[in-house]
Amino acid sequence: MVLWSYNITPRSTTGESPFMLAYGYEAMKSVEVGVGSLRRDLFMEGNAEVNMRLHLNLLNEAIMNSQLKLVAYQQRIARYFNKKVKSMPYKVEDLVLKKVMPNTKITQHGVLGANWEGPYIVKAILWKGTYCLEDLDDKLIPRAWNAEHLRKYYQ
């Protein structure tokens, strides 16, 4: 019963139920089966096949409309998320601190261990938000680092 309810409930992202997108028409709700409804009372067996073909012809249009609604929903979510993102562009030769990752954290220090290590020099900008680092002894750090894990170092 729960699965049936889930499949016949319209989604806020597409405006359509998964059942409608799969079969081209809305499923009868369990309430409509026991109690009379307008759709059930006006049902004529002879017109069922014609109505089903009509709904199947309109299925492509319903799918296209739901895809447009889904794209609009994704754009709204992206706009909401991007409002909160602060760009932290670093330039070559900037000094930065690198976040200490759980796999590189020194376990003997416990909870009071350092959360940031460095300073490091930004050696190259690989692409927006991704940087190649080196330490102060000109030793290259093995992998690229995302700006999310870096913090500007002020002397």
Q: Are strands 116-127 and 130-134 parallel, antiparallel or unpaired?
A: antiparallel
Whole-number pLDDT of residue 96: 95
How far apart are the C-alpha atoms of 17 and 25, rounded to whole Å? 9
Distances (CA, A) of 50 to 22, 43, 44, 110: 18, 12, 11, 72
Residue 74 has a pLDDT of 93
Q: Would you state the pLDDT for residue 60?
A: 84
Size (the chain), residues: 155
pLDDT of residue 17: 85
C-beta separation of 26 from 64 below 8 A: no
Low-confidence ranges of the chain (pLDDT < 50): none
What pLDDT is attached to residue 34? 66
Where do the domains of the chain lie?
A: 2-84, 95-152
Q: Which residue has the tokens 């199947």?
A: 56
Mean pLDDT of the chain: 83
Written out in words, the top-level CATH class of the domain with range 95-152 is: mainly beta
Q: Is 67 left (phi over 0), alpha (psi -120 to 50) or beta?
A: alpha
